[in-house]
Amino acid sequence: MNDTLKSAKKAIPSPDELSQQVEDLRADLMKLAATVRDDVSEGIDKAGRQISQTSRDAQATATNAVINHPMTAVGVAAGAGFLLGMMARKG
């Protein structure tokens, strides 16, 4: 019976030990938050660079299509203008 009481007393941490554990957890959480923030920032930067490259590629493709097929480009622009005009009129 005394052994049970002794082991129970050892299992309950003191307030100082609890405070230290809380401080350790707080430090670990701060490190984790910093790591996540850095990873997210890196991912956002990478996505921004990829979007920029994709937009430059799309612009080059559109420019080449207009240069290679000027009459088609004029026809598409006229058709889009006509459709937008009709939608604006009915709206």
Q: What's the number of domains the chain is made of?
A: 1
pLDDT tens sequence across 24-35: 999 999 999 999
pLDDT confidence of 90, banded at 50, 70, 90?
confident
Q: What is the pLDDT of residues 67-89, one digit of tens each?
A: 999 999 999 999 999 999 999 98
Domain that includes residue 78, residue range? 2-90
Computed over its alpha carbons, how large is the radius of gyration of the chain? Answer: 33
- How far is the C-alpha of 72 from the C-alpha of 74, rounded, in Å? 5
